[in-house]
Amino acid sequence: MKLSENAKVVLEKRYYQKDKNGKVTEDWKGMLNRVAKNISGGDKDKFKKYFNLLDSGKFLPNSPTLMNAGSDLQQLSACFVLPIEDSMESIFETIKNAALIHKSGGGTGFSFSRLREANSRVRSTNGVSSGPISFLKVYNAATDAVKQGGTRRGANMAILNVTHPQILDFITCKEDTTQLTNFNLSVGLTEDFMQAVYQDEEYELISPNTGKVVEKRKARDVFDLIVDMAYKNGEPGVVFLDRINRYNPTPEIGQIESTNPCGEQPLLPNEACNLGSVNLSAFVSNHKIAWNDLKEVIRDSVDFLDDVIQASRFPLPQIEEMAKGNRKIVLGIMGWADLLYQLNIPYASEQAVLLAEKTMEFIDFHAKQRSMEIAQTKGSFPNFEKSIYKKGKLLRDKLNQNWQALQKDIKSKGIRNATVTTIAPTGTISMILDTSSGIEPQFSLVFTKHVMDGENLLYVNKWFEQTLREAGIYKKELLEKVAKEGSIHGIKEIPASIKNVFQTAHDISPEWHIKMQAAFQRFTDNAVSKTINFSREAKKEDIRAAFELAYKLGCKGVTVYRDGSRENQVLQTSASHEPKTKTEKKVEPRNRPEITQGITQKIETGCGHMYVTINSDEFGACEVFVQMGKVGGCASAQLEAIARLASLALRSNLKLDSLVRQLKGIRCQSPMWNKGKMITSCGDAVGQALENYLAMDINNGSKSYTIKFEPTKVEEHGSQRMIANCPDCGNSIEHIEGCLKCPVCGWSKC
């Protein structure tokens, strides 16, 4: 397969194996050899089939499989759900287990609904409980302390049932977006609650400890609070727990209480799942879908994913038991938006929605058929006798003749996997295959990559570029205009026929986003990862309508994001000015201009990767930002304090070299070599970054620049300034599939 330059960067940074010195030791072919050999288990025919499947550009498994297959770690699953019972022993045993999973490269989901509410009596100690929110913070801090396999950061989902007495505290616990940064939050909504919302009735809050009703609240008031918070910063999302359990294939084994971090994979406690996605954009020929080719890839993908279960080394014995007991695999898709571009079908159209349902039905049907065939030679999943399949049911509401026949066959012949389909985020694997993520629309058709020599590189969607060339209007100036505008909607040079097809995320109304999610959900065993994008000008009523429409159309959950409501991290709050006294004149820092220019340096410290951004105005250096993704608590606060005080000093005309002298040489217990220099502490790292800045002679007291850099992209939000740039490479990030993602280097918050 021919790799794009962007794909090569992502692969070398995140996927290819390296030696002890960090030198890359494999290439694309080497990685595929390693993975195919490991998953095929020595079967030569399977090895050839799997190698060709991976090299075709039509399918890739989840990142842990690509990273870990054939390695010492051999942990190949991406999704885990762990139980939390109402005891100290269970709470901290689960923290330990989550740490092991994060270290191996997996993400975890938890339900905190079994934990008794705060101030509830603890009989064994004659004390009172601190409640689920306090333990949620403990889990978040524990995740900060674990470096996830050296390649992925820890990501979690926390769910609390809407009937829990502390549900209001849970809904608002991420109002400060600097808190609980390792968690996505979702409220578990029940059918009774939703009916109470529609009928404007009260519903009951029930203590998990006693099982008794402790309070009643108006359902609409609670629903309004969820809407308010989702409007402010996109969290919490919602999951419809009763609906999820209605499609639970093994209800006798247990009830589903939580999902994986991005919400598309509901799992039983101690269950794991491995993912894989078909690249739909690779199946278009002469403006038609190659259905037969797609069918063969689906069948090979099911074989591959089922063999991943056997090859995987699970982090805990109870997880291995559950994973092999149900043998859940999840085949999803990517490249949906790019497929629509090739077929000249607008994303926001009934034609696209109908095609989505048809396509997912095709994938699900043939995946189940192949799983049934495997069962005839290898046996059904061990819990088959306790499943709905043995009772002659399928995870579908309406069955035509083909589905009815398949249902009978599965009842009599068995099926290898309890579930076979999910629409998961495809993150970096879609970047490797140079296609759109999951079922999301493209976030942008052209974006600018900033490189260190000051040059701006334009990345153009290949189908958009092809269309512009065919129309005879392709030129760099037009692409630059598209990159600046973020949409082609208002660009006069582009014909209406092209504008109609090449829609991007913010060209599409929330209603169409939800219709698309619902269309795919109808033929998906598990759930669908999708972000419902709203413009900055959207109203709270629009968010409410989206939640209600998602419930009405049969979605299993929904995540919304209003543009600009939450970015990567709060870097600076407006400085308050000390009042002047009558007896003493004090220095007042100069105001910060609207736009500053500067650089970001990456420095290795004993605590992890540090990114120091130094910006300047017409008088010289004026502000410092320090970011380190793997720390939290006091460490994070101290770094922010250093940055704020340094910024205040610089805008008060303190010489930069004075700051350098004060910070350099501070020592801690974790020194680290960085490019031939010893970094003795995080404070020392900031000092060395400031010293490097001086050496570069960038606007040092003058208006001349020896190196050109683009302005840091920030957005104003009241008294706070939010950064919308990737912490790894500094380019703009996107909010899709329920998470923040960089389209350049593959960095993901999840």
Going 715 to 721 to 725 to 726, the CA torsion angle's sign is negative
Contact (Cβ atoms closer than 8 angstroms) between residue 597 and residue 699: yes
For residue 604, name the pLDDT band (cuts at 50, 70, 90).
Answer: confident
For residue 721, name the pLDDT band (cuts at 50, 70, 90).
Answer: very low
Which comes out higher in pLDDT, residue 52 or 578?
Answer: 52
What local confidence, expressed as pLDDT, does residue 563 receive? 86
Across the range 604-623, mean pLDDT stands at 85
Which comes out higher in pLDDT, residue 419 or 636?
Answer: 419
Euclidean distance between CA atoms 124 and 133, whole angstroms: 21
Number of alpha carbons in the 13 Å side-chain half-sphere of residue 451: 6
Euclidean distance between CA atoms 246 and 566, whole angstroms: 34
Alpha carbon 513 to its chain centroid, in Å, reads 18
What local confidence, expressed as pLDDT, does residue 565 receive? 82
End-to-end, the C-alpha distance of the chain in Å comes to: 28
Share of the chain above pLDDT 70, in %: 88
For residue 147, name the pLDDT band (cuts at 50, 70, 90).
Answer: low
What local confidence, expressed as pLDDT, does residue 404 receive? 95
Instruction: Compute how many other C-beta atoms are within 10 angstroms of the C-beta atom of residue 198.
Output: 12
What local confidence, expressed as pLDDT, does residue 196 receive? 98
For residue 631, name the pLDDT band (cuts at 50, 70, 90).
Answer: low
Across the range 168-195, mean pLDDT stands at 94
Across the range 670-688, mean pLDDT stands at 81
In the predicted structure, residue 250 carries a pLDDT above the cut 50: yes
Token representation of residue 659: 């700051």
Euclidean distance between CA atoms 544 and 560, whole angstroms: 10
In the predicted structure, residue 405 carries a pLDDT above the cut 70: yes
What local confidence, expressed as pLDDT, does residue 152 receive? 54
For residue 129, name the pLDDT band (cuts at 50, 70, 90).
Answer: confident
Give the best-scoring range by mean pLDDT among 166-180, 336-350, 705-719.
336-350
Across the range 232-256, mean pLDDT stands at 96
What local confidence, expressed as pLDDT, does residue 700 receive? 42
Q: Which phi and psi (to 5°) does residue 215 adopt?
A: -170, 160
In the predicted structure, residue 503 carries a pLDDT above the cut 80: yes
What local confidence, expressed as pLDDT, does residue 703 receive? 34
In the predicted structure, residue 504 carries a pLDDT above the cut 70: yes
Q: Using one digit for the tens of pLDDT, what is the confidence trace for 371-390?
A: 999 999 999 999 999 999 99
What local confidence, expressed as pLDDT, does residue 569 receive? 30
What local confidence, expressed as pLDDT, does residue 459 receive? 86
What local confidence, expressed as pLDDT, does residue 630 receive? 54
Instruction: Please report, for residues 220, 236, 239, 464, 541, the alpha-carbon distance to residue 188 in angstroms, rounded to integers and kept in the order given.
Output: 15, 10, 5, 40, 21
Q: Which phi and psi (to 5°) does residue 333 adopt?
A: -135, 160
Euclidean distance between CA atoms 433 and 442, whole angstroms: 14
What local confidence, expressed as pLDDT, does residue 746 receive? 75
Q: Using one digit for the tens of pLDDT, what is the confidence trace for 297-321?
A: 999 999 999 999 999 999 999 999 9
For residue 455, name the pLDDT band (cuts at 50, 70, 90).
Answer: low
Which comes out higher in pLDDT, residue 136 or 675?
Answer: 136
Instruction: Tell me the domain boundaries of the chain.
Output: 79-246, 572-723
Share of the chain above pLDDT 90, in %: 65
Q: What residues form DSSP beta bridges with 24?
A: 18
The two beta strands, 456-460 and 202-206, are unpaired
Among residues 431, 615, 423, the alpha carbon closest in space to that of 531 is found at: 423
Instruction: Compute how many other C-beta atoms are within 10 angstroms of the C-beta atom of residue 337.
Output: 27
Lowest mean pLDDT among 547-551, 566-570, 628-632: 566-570
Contact (Cβ atoms closer than 8 angstroms) between residue 277 and residue 429: yes
What local confidence, expressed as pLDDT, does residue 741 receive? 78
What local confidence, expressed as pLDDT, does residue 437 receive? 95
Among residues 716, 714, 577, the alpha carbon closest in space to that of 651 is found at: 577
Q: Using one digit for the tens of pLDDT, what is the confidence trace for 171-182?
A: 999 998 888 989
Q: What SS3 class is residue 490?
A: coil
Euclidean distance between CA atoms 164 and 158, whole angstroms: 13
What local confidence, expressed as pLDDT, does residue 715 receive? 39
Across the range 389-400, mean pLDDT stands at 90
Instruction: Please report, for residues 60, 71, 295, 414, the alpha-carbon distance to residue 300 in angstroms, rounded to integers and kept in the order given.
Output: 11, 23, 9, 19
Instruction: Compute how many other C-beta atoms are within 10 angstroms of the C-beta atom of residue 398.
Output: 6
Euclidean distance between CA atoms 531 and 441, whole angstroms: 10
What local confidence, expressed as pLDDT, does residue 431 receive? 93
In the predicted structure, residue 11 carries a pLDDT above the cut 90: yes
For residue 126, name the pLDDT band (cuts at 50, 70, 90).
Answer: low
Across the range 208-236, mean pLDDT stands at 96
Tokens 């030129």 sit at which residue?
475
What local confidence, expressed as pLDDT, does residue 164 receive? 98
Among residues 106, 386, 42, the alpha carbon closest in space to that of 274 is found at: 106
What local confidence, expressed as pLDDT, does residue 520 receive? 98
Alpha carbon 72 to its chain centroid, in Å, reads 26
Across the range 332-339, mean pLDDT stands at 98
Q: What residues form DSSP beta bridges with 266?
A: 259
Euclidean distance between CA atoms 113 and 257, whole angstroms: 8
Q: What residues form DSSP beta bridges with 258?
A: 267
For residue 90, name the pLDDT band (cuts at 50, 70, 90).
Answer: very high
In the predicted structure, residue 133 carries a pLDDT above the cut 70: yes
What local confidence, expressed as pLDDT, does residue 571 receive? 25
Which comes out higher in pLDDT, residue 122 or 464?
Answer: 464
Contact (Cβ atoms closer than 8 angstroms) between residue 520 and residue 528: yes
Q: Which residues are catalytic?
A: 260, 262, 264
Q: Is 0.85 topped by the overall pTM?
A: no
Contact (Cβ atoms closer than 8 angstroms) between residue 377 and residue 538: no
Contact (Cβ atoms closer than 8 angstroms) between residue 332 and residue 276: yes
Lowest mean pLDDT among 60-69, 534-543, 557-566, 588-597: 588-597
Average pLDDT, the chain: 88
Token representation of residue 360: 């997912």
Across the range 340-353, mean pLDDT stands at 98
For residue 725, name the pLDDT band (cuts at 50, 70, 90).
Answer: low
